Amino acid sequence: MSNSRRPKPLDFSGDSDIDSTVTPINPPDDGGHGQIIESDSLSDFYLHEVKHKKHRKKSQNYDADLSDEEHHSKSNMKEIYRELQTISKKLKDENKILYEREQKVKERERMVSISSASVQTITNHAVRQRIQAIEEKHRAEVDTLQQALREKGKENKRLKDNFETLKQANDALKQELETLQAEHDKLEKQSVSVQSRLTNLQRKQEFAERQKDLALAVPKQKLPKDAEEKSKPAKQSKLALPVYTFDVMGVLLDWISDAHLRYTVTDQPSRPAERYFSPEYVQEKVLKILPSSVDLLREFPGHNLRISLPCIQFIYWSLVHIEQGSGSQKSSLSSTLRRLGEEMYRAKTVRFSDTDKTLDSTPLPLVKLDKNKDTVYFRSTNLHVRLLSSLIILKTLSQVDLLAHVFDVLRNDLKSDIAKELYLYYHATPVILMYLKPVNKAFMGAAMDIFLHMSSDSPFQQSFLEGCSNETWFRTIAMVLRAPSQDYKVLEKLSIILQKLSKMKSNRKYFEVYTIVAIIQELLRGCATDQAFLALNLKSILFNLTAECSNQI
């Protein structure tokens, strides 16, 4: 469009009648863009057409008259001139339209170019404004976050200072608590010591009163016959039972009546109340009877098994019930338990004579020293009484020399099958297991000897091994195996028992839970050349566990 030129006027110099000019152009194509044809070529085309028509006209009328020819030529020229004027007018209109369209297109192109630049400028301006707004918003958010961060930092610093202050106060209170705890323990020990001294003084006073009664009874033999009648009431009072005997009897009768006898005459004799079998109810009765039972041990004739054996059986099972209860109950009975153990071990008390002499017979001393005082309870010739007394002593005393003696006697007694049966009947394994811990290093060998006797070939071997198949026993054994300083002899005896326990399938879980297998492997790697027997037992344990695992797979 920019290369198009304004059309030139047509030159009709060859025809005198044509004095006007036309500017023909082609109409726009289907696309609407209107391509303009060159003016010179269009004029030539129309000129040629006019000449061709003129020539044809002349050839047709060549033979006509000259006047007719001229007349027709003028009329044709006028007609052609009119046609050309019409065509020229149309071409001028079309040219004007195309020119206006060209101007509009140029204006549109100019506006489009201006619009593109404006759009780009506007876009850039809008983008810059948007970016600036985002940056301002970002700066505002950063400022807000920085302010919040500073506030949090101040808060954290304040909390840290408060924490340090509280920590210092806590440390001070903790130190004060430790001091008070130490003073409390010291005072508690002093209280126990004072209580023990009070108990000893009471026992000493009772002993002195009995000695005084004995000293007063001997001179009374020389009284004249007229004074015997006066002395009979005194004799009867001396033979009377102590007050605590009636206390024990009252509690026992009440217990039996409440828990058993009342239900034998009701509609439901086989369904006694559950509270009478609850540990709390049983321990309540036990705590009432046990202190008086210790005093009764001094009065019972120790060689009479019908009296002494049920009494110590009741005491033993009472101790088992107390151990299953809370520790506070056992600590409250510490003095009673100590007196009980000493009575079981020494049994050096003055007892009333149990002779069959009547009151009106020949005068004799009312009281005397018991000749069998050295053969009762722990020193009894009866295996049952001696073993049960040994277990009670192990539960109540803590003197090393006394316990060593008790372990020696118990270890010697367990060589017989009767003693092993009694051991299983009274569930004595937990009693001995308390002394197998590393804290009781002095008695670990003796306790292991007892376990070794029980695990030897006998009718009671399997029952003993089943009694050891529990978490408590394996937990204690794991502690022994992990001890930093281990006795070779103890490990050797323990390996014998573990070798027998490893044959039982139900024990594999305990070996795994307490990682005894890994400990045994470590011990096996550290075995010296002179520990061949221990190494052999450890290998046998691992083989039993491995073979069992393979069978399960």
Mean of pLDDT values over 378-400? 91
pLDDT band at residue 324 using 50, 70 and 90 as cut-offs: confident
Do 387 and 410 form a contact (C-beta atoms < 8 A)?
yes
Tell me if 474 sits within 8 A of 516, measured CB to CB: yes
User: Is pLDDT at 408 greater than 90 in this prediction?
Assistant: yes
Distances (CA, A) of 179 to 41, 453, 480, 541: 128, 47, 33, 49
How many whole angstroms separate alpha carbon 79 and alpha carbon 92?
Answer: 20
For 241-260, letters b (16+ CB in 10 Å) and e give: eeebeebbeebeeebeebbe
Q: Confidence band (pLDDT; 50, 70, 90) for 307?
A: confident
Indicate the SS3 state at residue 352. Answer: strand
Q: Which residue, 400, 397, 356, 361, is CA-closest to 377?
A: 397
Q: Is this structure's pTM higher than 0.85?
A: no
pLDDT for residue 229: 43
How does residue 230 score in pLDDT terms, banded at 50, 70 and 90?
A: very low
Which is more confidently placed, 117 or 267? 117
Domain count, the chain: 1
Residue 467 has pLDDT above 80, yes or no: yes
Q: Is the pLDDT of residue 344 over 50?
A: yes
**Torsional sign, CA 311, 315, 320, 326:** positive
| Residue 507 resides in a domain | no
Burial class (CB in 10 A: 0-12, 13-18, 19+), 149: exposed
User: Quick check: 237 pLDDT over 70?
Assistant: no
How far, in Å, CA of 20 to CA of 247, rounded?
162
> Does any domain span residue 502?
no
Distance CA(538)–CA(495), nearest Å, equals 6
Name the burial class of residue 288, with classes exposed (0-12), middle (13-18) and buried (19+) by CB atoms within 10 angstroms of its CB.
middle
Which helix (H) or strand (E) segment holds residue 19: the answer is none
pLDDT at 152: 92
Tokens of 449: 């000897």
Q: Is 119 within a domain?
A: yes
The residues, any chain, with a CB within 8 Å of residue 183's CB and separated by 6 or more, are none
pLDDT digits (tens, 9 = 90+) for 142-154: 999 999 999 999 9
Instruction: Tell me the average pLDDT across 434-447.
Output: 90
What's residue 186's pLDDT? 86
188 has a pLDDT exceeding 90 = no
Token pair belonging to 184: 């409390």
Is residue 98 within 8 Å of 25, Cβ to Cβ?
Answer: yes
Residue 445 identity = G
Nearest Cα to 535, choosing from 547, 548, 545, 521?
521
The answer to whether residue 211 is domain-embedded is no
Q: What is the mean pLDDT of residues 301-317?
A: 79
Which has the minimum average pLDDT: 255-269, 362-376, 417-431? 362-376
Summarize the confidence of residues 278-297 as an average pLDDT: 77
Distance, CA of 407 to CA of 255 (rounded, Å): 35
Token pair 């130190």 is found at 175
Instruction: Return the higher-pLDDT residue of 212 and 350.
Output: 212
pLDDT score of 48: 67
Structural domain span for residue 124: 74-189
Helix axes 334-345, 383-396, angle to 10 degrees: 150
Q: Is residue 459 domain-resident? A: no
The SS3 assignment for 13 reads: coil
Is 232 within the bounds of a domain?
A: no
pLDDT, position 479: 92
| 172 within some domain | yes
Residue 165 located in a structural domain: yes
Q: Of 294, 336, 329, 325, which Cα lies nearest the Cα of 312?
A: 294
Distance CA 544, CA 449 (A): 24
Q: What is the mean pLDDT of the chain?
A: 76
